Amino acid sequence: MLPIVTTAFTPFASLFGGVLIGLSAVMVMGLFGRIAGITGITAGGISVVDPTQATARDWSWRLAFLVGLIAAPLLVTAVAGEVPHSVPTDLWGMAAAGLIVGTGTALGSGCTSGHGVCGLARLSKRSAVAVLMFMAFAFVTVFIIRHVWV
Amino acid sequence: MRILFGLLSGLVFGLGLVISGMSDPAKVLNFLDVFGAWDPSLAFVMGGASVTAYIGYRLVWRRPAPVLMQSFDMPDTTRVDAPLLTGAALFGIGWGIGGFCPGPAWTALTFAAPGTLVFLPMMLIGLYAGRQIKARMSP
């Protein structure tokens, strides 16, 4: 059992950060006419190494988006200093989690951003079902790991 | 232009992830731990993001086309099918184990935690595998 890192309740920072995420989704829709789904953007961005994929023709802005995503914390730490960050240290677990997340989001055509933020904003029923499904499974998984499997 | 504005959009998204705490797996896992170290912060992230996108989408949809492309190109599938349900369930399990969904996994890269450096390449392999499986499930 891994130690549980406690975190502070941050309603204002979280709300502000959430508004920024929504703003980025609106930028992507207004500029590119697309859903700001990180699953699709990742697949499109890395299709530069596999041009047989259908999304290959529009990879340039998606790859640039990923660069922005990676660069963001450098900007925050330069301005505000250290930010709290704690990643699980069980590397086999993280490897399995990565593989499952990748497979699941590709199969389910989206993740927290595509189905969550953008799908809900579009009032897509399909996305709402996906959100309920992955939230339920995430809650149950954490419950089992932290309270059953101790 | 596309590259510049793509970069800018990604930067705003990433800033949102870091400021909101969503790029910190500890915070995500505590949000999911309702009966333990519960931290409800992420409800505010999802709420803020969805409401902003809901309002903003309706404003930009008044234009006949997006600024840098020919037309709006939205997913047109409405069917709730087996790949959607299986995929979302799997994603939920992986999210609950690692505390990372795809966006934060990219954003956390420069913090260079060993867990992140293992998670991200495995996620990319999974994405590739998932696309192959999906192509077979729904021809």
> Taking CB atoms and an 8 Å cutoff, what residues of chain A touch B93?
100, 104, 137-138, 141
Q: How far apart are CA B45 and CA A11, in angstroms?
A: 8
Q: Which of B49, B80, B131 is closest, CB to CB, to A129?
A: B80
Q: Tens digit of pLDDT per residue, chain A (150 long)?
A: 467 889 999 999 999 999 999 999 999 999 999 999 999 899 887 766 655 555 556 788 999 999 999 999 999 999 988 888 999 999 999 999 999 999 999 999 999 999 999 999 999 999 999 999 999 999 999 999 999 987
Choose the closest CB to B96 out of A9, A20, A137. A137
Predicted confidence (pLDDT) at residue B78 exceeds the cutoff of 70:
yes
Contacts of B103 (CB under 8 A, 6+ apart): A38, A69, A111, A112, A113, B13, B14, B17, B22, B23
- Domain range for A103: 11-148
Please check whether residue A20 lies inside any domain of the structure: yes
- CA-based nearest residue to A113, from A50, A53, A69: A69
Instruction: Give buried/exposed letters for B105-124 (b at 16+ CB in 10 A, else e).
Output: bbbbbebebebbebbbebbb
Provide the number of structural domains found in chain A: 1
Give yes or no for residue B87 having a pLDDT over 50. Answer: yes
Which residues on chain B are in Cβ contact (under 8 Å) with A143? 33-35
Which of A64, A118, A138 shows the shortest C-beta gap to B3?
A: A64
Is A6 inside any structural domain? no
The pLDDT assigned to A30 comes to 97
Residue A137 within any structural domain of the chain: yes
Task: Give pLDDT tens digits for B37-77.
Answer: 999 999 999 999 999 999 999 999 999 999 999 999 988 88
**pLDDT recorded at residue B9:** 97
User: Is A67 part of any domain?
Assistant: yes
Task: Indicate whether A134 belongs to any domain.
Answer: yes
Beta-carbon separation of B97 and A100 below 8 A: yes
ipTM above 0.90, yes or no: yes
Evaluate whether residue A19 is within a structural domain. Answer: yes
Distance CA A114, CA A38 (A): 7
B121-138: per-residue pLDDT in tens? 999 999 999 988 988 886
Count of C-beta atoms within a 10 Å radius of residue A132: 13
Domain extents in chain B: 2-137
* A26 occurs within a structural domain: yes
**Tell me, what amino acid is at B16?**
G
**pLDDT at position A1:** 47
